[in-house]
Amino acid sequence: MSILVTGGTGFIGSHTAVEMIEAGTKVLIVDNFSNSKPAVLDRIFRITGVKPEFVLCDLCDYDALEIVFANHPDIEGCIHFAGLKAVGESVQKPVEYYRNNLVSTMNLCQFLAKYGAKKLVFSSSATVYGKPASVPIREDFPLSCTNPYGETKLVIEYLLRDLVVADPEWSIVVLRYFNPIGAHKSGLMGEDPKGIPNNLLPYVSKVANGKLPYLHVFGNDYHTHDGTGVRDYIHVVDLARAHLDAIRYARERSGIDYINLGTGCGYSVLDIVHAYENATGKKVPYRIEARRPGDIDECYADPSKALRVLGWKAERNLEDMCRDSDHWQSLNPDGYPEKEEA
Ligand code: WQD
């Protein structure tokens, strides 16, 4: 049997594929390389010794996706990472975001049902909590979104909830990620955003390694210990490993469940800057600037349900996250190569 990993050459998908392969799970990666590169497959091979089965396919292409399922009757379930995920871009291109993220998921669910593979782990986001009334955030907190990207995640969660009501044979685990950062300890895989990074850690890594002059700190007048935004940063390898537990959980039951994946620790932007400098010995110059529209003061998880239900908790600390990010950035200053490696 195999697990279909959509978006499996992306940041979290590729790290999850490595952990699954190393745990002895057969994976089939499907990706359209809209936000990743073929070289990721070579890096997965260099880390694990296994070149994962791969199909180039856009999940929005109904006929192409059917062929994937018809050619792989051993698919027993799916971890669904594929989707557009840039908050700012989603504000500029809402139709593209709704179309891509919703149509791809609807096509996927239709074929998972048709081919008897009704186990799904869905990559959702803490963004569905909007601006929480308090922290830490539990899974039963109110849901709301402030941008089209987050709205697509929320609408997909509603779609999956309704799917389980219509067909109780489904087993769906919705994982709400907080802020994934870090990289594989080998330095062979990591976060490779296109162009100038939107997110904090890849931007800090580029500043520390001389690819950008300084960090723009978006606001220092938030209601936090030092005025800068507080988030729950989680090592991408910890996050990846949670998916193994989520697949096992999906096999054991039916219905739908929702699980926060965070450390339960909130760190500010300046905490990150200082942690990165301490972990690497490199300087991260910064300038305090205006708030970024849509940002919230604080967001961090209550991770107790993940431990109770999955038997999972984050093991890597902030120093690990900064050190591994820097190792990836210093070995790959321009990210993954455009061409596949020998
Ligand atoms: C973190 C903190 C910024 C960049 C986003 C998405 C979320 C999820 C994770 C997909 C904030 C500050 C950032 C910079 C800064 N993605 N910052 N200068 O906004 O918490 O979450 O990524 O699921 O959906 O919303 O992450 O890394 O962009 O920002 O000061 O150059 O760093 O203001 O306080 P965010 P982030």
Q: What is the DSSP string of 61-97?
A: -HHHHHHHHHH-TTEEEEEE--S---HHHHHH-HHHH
* Cβ neighbours, 10 Å, residue 1: 10
Q: Is 26 exposed, middle or buried (0-12, 13-18, 19+ CB in 10 A)?
A: middle
Active site residue 149: yes
* Residue of 149, 249, 276, 300 marked catalytic: 149
Atom of ligand 1 at shortest range from CA of 153 = 23
Which atom of ligand 1 is found nearest the CA of 179?
9
| Residue with CA nearest ligand 1 atom 28 | 199
pLDDT of residue 339: 82
Regions of the chain short of the pLDDT cut 70? 341-342
pLDDT of residue 146: 87
β 230-231/267-268 pair status:
antiparallel
Which residue's alpha carbon is nearest to atom 10 within ligand 1? Answer: 85
**Is ligand 1 within 6 A of the CB of residue 99?**
no
Whole-number pLDDT of residue 342 = 61
pLDDT, tens digit (0-9, with 9 covering 90-100), for 35-44: 999 999 999 9
| CA neighbor of 129 nearest in space, from 189, 177, 77, 69 | 177
Strand partners, 2: 26, 75
Question: Rounded to whole angstroms, how far apart are CA atoms 252 and 86?
Answer: 34
Cβ proximity of 32 and 40 under 8 Å: no
Ligand 1 atom with the shortest distance to the CA of 180: 9
pTM metric for this prediction: 0.98
Q: Looking up tokens 């490199």, which residue turns up? A: 282
Taking the CA of residue 291 as reference, the ligand 1 atom at the shortest distance is 33
Residue 111: C-alpha distances to residues 69, 146, 163, 175, 187 (Å):
7, 31, 13, 21, 36
Q: Residue whose CA is closest, atom 27 of ligand 1?
A: 199
Residue 147 CA to ligand 1 centre (angstroms): 13
> In whole angstroms, how large is the CA radius of gyration of the chain?
19
Does any ligand 1 atom lie closer than 6 A to the CB of residue 12? no
Q: Are 322 and 279 in contact (CB under 8 A)?
A: yes
Return the pLDDT at 65.
98
pLDDT of residue 340: 73
Q: 150 CB contacts (<8 Å, ≥6 apart)?
A: 87, 90, 125, 127, 128, 130
Return the structure tokens found at 167: 């067909």
Answer whether 217 contacts ligand 1 (Cβ < 6 A).
Answer: yes
